[in-house]
């Protein structure tokens, strides 16, 4: 198998975006490499641990005259496997300082270290919302392509990270993940956005056993934040590496979620149903097991947002042992 040569997109000064292959439909994830002359080597995000990703990272670093062992700091936008998988490997090989937003360390990232403790709650959450057992089979929460870091340094919103010799402000952009981090450079009107906003696809916003109670409410606020920030360009996790029109895209995504909220209100108003049953109304197409779980989590994020607004209710159905949503 021949691998494509390292494709580095210049972002700003010594900062480059590298498209690293991932075995997901998005095909690649963006990893940022910053290698200022004589200065520290920084990475933002690090892809899944696959041989292809390791090779792409090695090639990208080599193109900048650097190596794994040179990495000084690794900033992670959020704990999802495609952004975090190699964190432990990079930490071990280089002794790099791994940084994440404080919220993400306490919630998402902890998931990788406490699978055994979290799994029963994870499964119960899906079951209580009607997911049939066939979609729970094989749900171990484990991912052999994720090597968690052993020490993580917390970043707080408002702090600064240095990339390409400039200060980038740490932003909290929750919704897609509880502690999703963004990096903002006002001088160059550039945002490192991870999956907080994406072109072409709507970032998945799901309610899980271990998420904040209203991820969709969080995400709608994040979209407002991005709209107000109005960056000229954003470096994005997928389908990028760089996108313009962030403000317009934020408005579009908000309208999309508002449409889905209206639809859920209408559907739940027809007859009381479980979130799983309602997820088939929202996502009627054929989905595989993990797709069905994503669909349920996304549907739940909309239903719980409406419930917390007082626009829908939920009641425990004794015989079916499931929560049902109703008007």
Strand duo 322-326 + 313-317: pairing? antiparallel
Q: How far is the CB of 45 from Zn ion (least distance, A)?
A: 8
Distance of CA 9 to the CA centre of its chain: 22
Q: Is 104 in the site for Zn ion (CB under 5 A)?
A: no
Q: Is 178 in the site for Zn ion (CB under 5 A)?
A: no
Stated as kind and residue range, the H or E segment containing 161 is strand 160-163
Q: How far is the CB of 203 from Zn ion (least distance, A)?
A: 7
CA distances from 157 to 105, 145, 154 (A): 13, 29, 10
Write phi, then psi, for 29 (nearest 5 degrees).
Answer: -125, 150
Q: Is 195 in the site for Zn ion (CB under 5 A)?
A: yes
Q: Hey, which residues between 226 and 265 contact Zn ion (CB under 5 A)?
A: 237
Among the candidate windows 157-165, 193-201, 242-250, 317-325, which touches Zn ion by CB under 5 A?
193-201
Stated as kind and residue range, the H or E segment containing 8 is strand 8-12
Q: How far is the CB of 193 from Zn ion (least distance, A)?
A: 11
Q: Is 34 in the site for Zn ion (CB under 5 A)?
A: no
Nearest to Zn ion of 82, 109 (CB atom) = 82
Those residues whose C-beta lies under 8 Å from the C-beta of residue 51, and which sit 6 or more positions away, are none
For residue 278 the two structure tokens come to 């309602």
Among the candidate windows 116-124, 195-203, 246-254, 264-272, which touches Zn ion by CB under 5 A?
195-203
Q: How far is the CB of 60 from Zn ion (least distance, A)?
A: 18
For residue 165 the two structure tokens come to 């010799």
Q: How far is the CB of 166 from Zn ion (least distance, A)?
A: 25
Q: Is 214 in the site for Zn ion (CB under 5 A)?
A: no
Among the candidate windows 165-173, 187-195, 209-217, 302-310, which touches Zn ion by CB under 5 A?
187-195
Burial (CB count within 10 angstroms: exposed 0-12, middle 13-18, buried 19+), residue 36: middle
Residue ranges binding Zn ion (CB under 5 A): 80, 82, 195, 237
């Amino acid at each position: 198998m021949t691998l494509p040569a390292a494709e580095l997109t210049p972002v700003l000064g010594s900062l480059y975006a590298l498209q690293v292959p991932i075995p997901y439909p998005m095909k690649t994830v963006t990893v940022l490499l910053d290698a200022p002359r004589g200065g520290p080597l920084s990475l933002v995000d690090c892809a899944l641990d696959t041989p292809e990703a390791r090779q792409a990272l090695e090639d990208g670093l080599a193109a900048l005259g650097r190596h794994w062992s040179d990495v000084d700091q690794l900033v992670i936008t959020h704990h999802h496997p495609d952004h975090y998988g190699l964190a432990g490997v990079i930490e071990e090989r280089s002794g790099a300082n791994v940084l994440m937003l404080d919220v993400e360390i306490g919630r998402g990232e902890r998931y990788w270290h406490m699978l055994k403790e979290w799994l029963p709650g994870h499964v119960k959450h899906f079951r209580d919302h009607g997911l049939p057992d066939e979609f729970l089979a094989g749900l171990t929460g484990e991912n052999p392509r994720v090597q968690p870091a052993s020490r993580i340094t917390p970043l707080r919103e408002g702090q600064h990270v240095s990339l390409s010799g400039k200060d980038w402000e740490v932003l909290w952009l929750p919704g897609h993940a509880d502690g999703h981090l963004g990096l903002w450079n006002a001088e160059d009107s550039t945002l490192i956005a991870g999956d907080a906003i994406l072109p072409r696809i709507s970032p998945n916003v799901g309610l899980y056993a271990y998420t904040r109670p209203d991820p969709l409410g969080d995400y709608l606020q994040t979209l407002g934040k991005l709209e107000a920030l109005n960056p000229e360009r954003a470096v994005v996790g997928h389908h990028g590496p760089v996108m313009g029109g962030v403000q317009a895209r934020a408005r579009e995504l908000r309208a999309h979620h508002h449409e889905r909220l209206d639809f859920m209100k209408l559907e739940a108003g027809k007859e009381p149903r479980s979130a799983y049953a309602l997820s088939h109304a929202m996502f009627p197409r054929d989905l595989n097991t993990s797709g069905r779980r994503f669909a349920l989590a996304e549907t739940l994020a909309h239903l719980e947002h409406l419930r917390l607004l007082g626009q829908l209710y939920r009641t425990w159905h004794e015989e079916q042992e499931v929560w049902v949503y109703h008007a």
